[in-house]
Amino acid sequence: MQEIYGMSINPGFFIGRALHFSIPEPAIETGTIKTEEVPKEISRLQSSLTTVEEEIGQELEAINLPKRDAEIISAQQEILHDPEIYKQIESAIRDKLQFSTQAVSECFANIIKHFETMKIETFAVRAADYRDVAMRLLNALSGVRNTLNFQLKAEQIPVLKEIVPSLVSKLARDGIKAYLVEKGSYNSHSSILCRALGLVAIANIPNLTGAVKNDDLLIVDGYSGLLIVNPDEITLNSYRKKMEAEKKHREALKHLQTTESITANGIKIKLLTNIGVLEELEAIKNLACDGIGLFRTEFLYLGKQNLPEEEEQFAVYKELAEKMKPLPVTIRTFDLGGDKLSPLGYASPEENPYLGNRGIRFSLSQSDIFYTQVRAILRASAFGKIQIMFPMIIDAKDFLEAKRFVQNCQRELSQHSISFDPDIALGAMIEIPSAALCSEELAKECDFLSIGTNDLVQYTLAADRNNEMVAKYYVQHHPAVLCLIKQTVNSAAKYQTPLSVCGEMASYPKYIPLLIGLGIKELSVNPGSYYEAKAIVQKCDAELFKATEIINCSLSLSEVEHLINNILTPYYQDREE
C-alpha cells in the first residue's frame, strides 16, 4: 500500500482501477513544401478550422452545462478565430513554406511556452487551453476526426500527466467519477469544469504516472487530496464505509438544508462559503448558507491579458450582490503582487514576492488599480449587502490607511451622486502573525475580521505550503498557530467584532470542532464541504468546549494531535450516526 498526497480539485471518495491514459500525439509533417502547394496548405488549414469549430459546437450540445461553464469551452472558439494566430500560421506557410501541421505546431508551441514561463498560476493555466486547441487543430489537419472517440468504463480512474477541458467533459459524458493528474491547477479551466460536472479529482501528485500502474486498485480521497495505491483490506474496508456514509450523507442533504447551523448546546455557528468565480454561485444556490465569506477577486484575471476595467468588475460584483441579497458577500480586494502583475508591465519582479509588495500593500502602492476596484465594489454595494476585506494587513495602521482610501472614494462617488452603501463594512484578514498579535487594536478598528489560515500557518511556521521539501513543517494545528487563533478570538470577543475563519482549516472535518472549541462562531467553507461542516457543527456540544479548554501556548504538538485524533473524533467521524 502506498499513500501519496496531491492537491484536491474536487472533494469526494471513489474506489476504482487505474487506467493510464494519454491523448495520442498528432503527426507533424516536417520539411518544406513547394511554392505552388501554398494555396493547398492554406485551404487545408481553413478546412481544419471549420472542422474544429463544428467539433466544439457538438460538444457544447452534448453536455448540459450552465451558461458560464459552457463559456469555458466556447472560449476555445475565440482562440480558434484569433486573427493574430491565423496570421502567424498563414505567414509560416507562405514565407517559410512549412506544412500547415508544422506551422500550427510551432505557432501554438510559442504561445504555450509564453504562458508556462510566466510561472504565475493565473496566467500559466491558460497554456492548457491553447494546448487543447492546438491538439484539436493538428488532429483535424491529419484527418483524425476525434481522438477522444473512445469509451471508458465508469469504474476506471484515468491517470494522466495533464488534462485539458475537452477531456474533462469527455470523461463526464462517459460516466467517469474520478481522475488523477500529475500536473494541474485548482483554478484552471479544466478544474472549474471538473467541479461543475461533479467529478472527484486530485492534481499535482508527485510521480503519479510512475507510482501507479495500469489496473492498480486506487482509493481517491478528494477531501484530503490523498491517493492510496493498492490499499490493504483494513484501509479498503474503511473507505468503503466512508463511501457508504458519504452516500447516506448526500441523501440527508435535503434534511440538512432545512436545519439550522447550531451546536447541540444551542450556539449558532454561521456557515458561509468561499468562492472564486461566479460559476460557483450555481453550486451554492441550494445550500441555504449564511452568505459568502470570501470572494477571491484575483480570479477576475483568469483568462485575461489586461487588468479588468471598472465596468467589468462592477458587473461581477453587482451580480454577486443581487443573487445573494439579502445575505452578505465579503469581497476580498486583490491579493496580488509584483510576481503576478510584472508580466503585464504593472510592476517589477521581486526577489521574494511572498514577503514583498503584495496584498493591501501592493494595492496602496498602485492607487490607480486599487481605485478602480474600490469604486467598482462601492457601486455594486448599492445592489446588496457587500463587505470589503483587505488582505495582508499587518496592523491597525495598515488597515486605517486602506479605510481612508475607501472613504475618499466614497466622497468622490457622493459628489457625483453615484449610489453606494454608506455603511459598508470594512474588515481585515488575519493571515500574518503580526496581525494576530495586534488583533486587539484591529478588532477595535475593523467592522469584522477573518482568519486566513493558509497564509497564517505558512508565515507562522516559515513553511511554504507548496514546497514538498518542507511539507512536514506545514502543520495547520501547530500550537503556535492555535495560540494566534485563540488570541484573535479573545480580541474579537472583547470588542464584539465578528470573526470568521475563511482558510482551508474551516473546510477540513477534523479541524471544525477544534475551531469551534477555540471560540470561532463563523466558518467560511468550500461549497463542497458545506453540508459536512453543518453536520459536524450540529454534533458539537458542551463537552467539546470542556475538552478544548486545555489549548494554550504551552501545549506540545503531540498533545494537540492526541486531542484531535482521539478526543475530538466523535465530532467529525461516524457521520452516518
Each residue's pLDDT tens digit, 278-314: 767 877 877 889 999 999 887 676 545 567 899 989 9
Q: Residue 53: enclosing H or E segment and its boundaries?
A: helix 38-62
- Is the predicted pLDDT of residue 339 greater than 70, yes or no? no
Direct distance between the N- and C-terminal alpha carbons of the chain, in angstroms, rounded to an integer: 29
Convert the pLDDT of each residue in 168-225 to its tens digit. Answer: 877 887 889 999 998 877 766 677 678 767 789 999 898 898 999 999 999 999 988 8
The contacts found for 72-79 with CB under 8 angstroms, 24 or more apart, are: 72/165, 72/189, 72/192, 72/193, 73/165, 73/166, 73/169, 73/193, 75/129, 75/189, 75/303, 76/129, 76/132, 76/133, 76/136, 76/165, 76/166, 77/53, 79/129, 79/130, 79/133
> Residue with C-alpha cell 512549412?
98
Instruction: Return the C-alpha cell found at 195.
Output: 467541479
Convert the pLDDT of each residue in 510-557 to its tens digit. Answer: 999 999 999 999 999 988 788 889 989 999 999 999 999 999 889 999
For the chain, helix, strand, coil in percent to 5 are 55, 15, 30
Are the CB atoms for 378 and 384 separated by under 8 Å?
no
pLDDT at residue number 67:
60
Cα 428 from Cα 445, distance rounded (Å): 10
Catalytic residues: 189, 502
Please give the backbone phi and psi of residue 4, each rounded to the nearest 5 degrees, phi first: -135, 130
- Relative to beta strand 385-390, strand 2-5 is unpaired
DSSP 565: I
Q: Which string of DSSP letters, residue by residue, matches 383-440?
A: GSEEEEEESS--SHHHHHHHHHHHHHHHHHHHHTT----TT-EEEEEE-SHHHHHTHH
Cα 178 from Cα 158, distance rounded (Å): 7
Averaged over 422-435, what is the pLDDT? Answer: 97
Give the max Cα distance, the chain: 86
